[in-house]
Amino acid sequence: MPHAVMKLLENMPMPWEQIRDVKVLYHITGAITFVNEIPWVIEPVYIAQWGTMWIMMRREKRDRRHFKRMRFPPFDDEEPPLDYADNVLDVEPLEAIQIELDPDEDGAVAKWFYDHKPL
């Protein structure tokens, strides 16, 4: 896998983040762009964040607010390629999926649990 693609995928916003701003490194000719950041999260926090996502996504799927069945085939051979400026540029990102944290039970983690770089 090309390094630029790997860095892009590893810095993609998680479901509990609406957007993520990252530092980017451009080549002088503009031929390639790298995401110049490493997502540092300790393993127990990462597992806890994804555990809450699993619970919330099960609830979302049950309630069917954001989940839609995919039509196959997703693209037709006759269909022209999508243009980024026309289809993606003006679209607002979906709201982040976050579980309601109880101030009494979860007070110790409530401030930093959904941060980009917790602890």
Residue 16 near residue 53 (C-beta atoms within 8 A): yes
Note down the domain range covering 39. 3-87
* 44 part of a folded domain: yes
* 43 part of a folded domain: yes
- Residue-wise pLDDT for 76-117, tens only, equals 777 777 777 887 788 888 888 888 888 888 888 888 888 878
Element (H, E) at 25: strand 24-26
Cα angle vertex 45, ends 102, 108, to 5°? Answer: 35
Q: For residue 67, what pLDDT is reported? A: 67
* 61 part of a folded domain: yes
Q: How many domains is the chain built from?
A: 1
pTM of the shown model: 0.67
* 94 part of a folded domain: no
3-state class of 26 per DSSP?
Answer: strand
**Nearest Cα to 39, choosing from 55, 21, 51, 56?**
21
* 18 part of a folded domain: yes
